[in-house]
């Protein structure tokens, strides 16, 4: 299997195993699915951390409003009584006024926290250093761990407007957020190797050669971003060593000439 070391810009993202005989359409589609899947796991983890601290999300019309404004507008969170965490809650006001403050008890918080820790570890960039490849199945397992933990704490499910619930059913709205800039739209995805774009309708070996036991760096971006910067032939540490050796050699030459 050829190992693709996938980068987005200068960011090392994950390793992916495939075959040089695989169609480029399939490779690009799978890489984008894994890449976007990682982002989804990260977004859900971030929101579950908030869920563990401040409870379920307020209805949209109540977010970012203070208590006086909510009372003045006669607004009410009708889901607050329907979505009480297992074991009860204590009140912990959300300083961002996004969530209702119904913090799960310590045992349930630990369930959520462990799921977040486990899911993050499954998609961690550090896996690149340990030569551990990532697959769409692993991403889906991470999502299932998060989904299972939320179901334990909220067996009645989260409110339909809660960002976590919307992520679970793939109805998330990322428009206008920083997260929307990170996601790669599949129809606009581009894959590059050694400064050359890998085009659809071909086989991977037309770009990487026929050796199926290699490891190469490829870069993901999308239409409109332009060609990504080429990888350095040598790293910074090696470059400095070479410069030092060259300087030492020049000094030795000066001494010998004198």
pTM for the whole structure: 0.86
Residues spanned by the domain of 118: 2-222
Residue 257 in domain: no
pLDDT (tens digit per residue) in 99-130: 999 999 999 999 999 999 999 999 999 999 99
pLDDT (tens digit per residue) in 73-104: 999 999 999 999 999 999 999 999 999 999 99
Residue 33 in domain: yes
- Number of domains making up the chain: 1
119 contacts 149 by C-beta, under 8 angstroms: no
For residue 86, give every residue at least 6 positions away whose Cβ sits within 8 Å of its Cβ, in sequence order, or none: 104, 108, 152, 153, 154, 155
d(CA 84, CA 90): 11
Q: What is the pLDDT of residue 98?
A: 96
Residue 258 in domain: no
């Amino acid at each position: 299997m050829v190992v693709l070391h996938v980068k987005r810009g200068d960011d090392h993202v994950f390793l992916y195993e495939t075959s040089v005989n695989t169609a480029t359409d399939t490779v690009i589609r799978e890489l984008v699915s894994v890449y976007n899947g990682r982002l989804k796991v990260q977004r859900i983890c971030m929101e579950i951390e908030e869920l563990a601290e401040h409870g379920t999300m307020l209805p949209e019309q109540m977010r970012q409003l203070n208590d006086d404004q909510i009372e003045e507008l006669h607004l009410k969170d009708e889901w607050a009584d329907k979505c009480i965490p297992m074991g009860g809650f204590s009140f912990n006001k959300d300083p961002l006024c996004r969530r209702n403050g119904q913090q799960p008890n310590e045992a349930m918080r630990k369930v959520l926290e462990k799921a977040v820790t486990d899911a993050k570890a499954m998609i961690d960039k550090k896996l690149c250093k340990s030569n551990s490849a990532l697959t769409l199945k692993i991403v889906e397992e991470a999502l299932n761990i998060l989904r299972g933990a939320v179901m334990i704490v909220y067996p009645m499910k989260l409110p339909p407007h809660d960002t976590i619930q919307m992520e679970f059913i793939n109805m998330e709205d990322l428009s206008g957020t920083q997260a929307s800039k990170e996601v790669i739209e599949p129809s606009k995805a581009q894959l590059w190797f050694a400064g050359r774009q890998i085009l659809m309708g071909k086989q991977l070996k037309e770009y990487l050669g026929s050796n199926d036991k290699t490891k190469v760096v490829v870069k993901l971006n999308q239409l409109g971003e332009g060609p990504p910067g080429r990888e350095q032939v040598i790293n910074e540490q090696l470059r400095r060593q070479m410069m030092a050796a060259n300087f030492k050699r020049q000094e030795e030459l000066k001494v010998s000439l004198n």
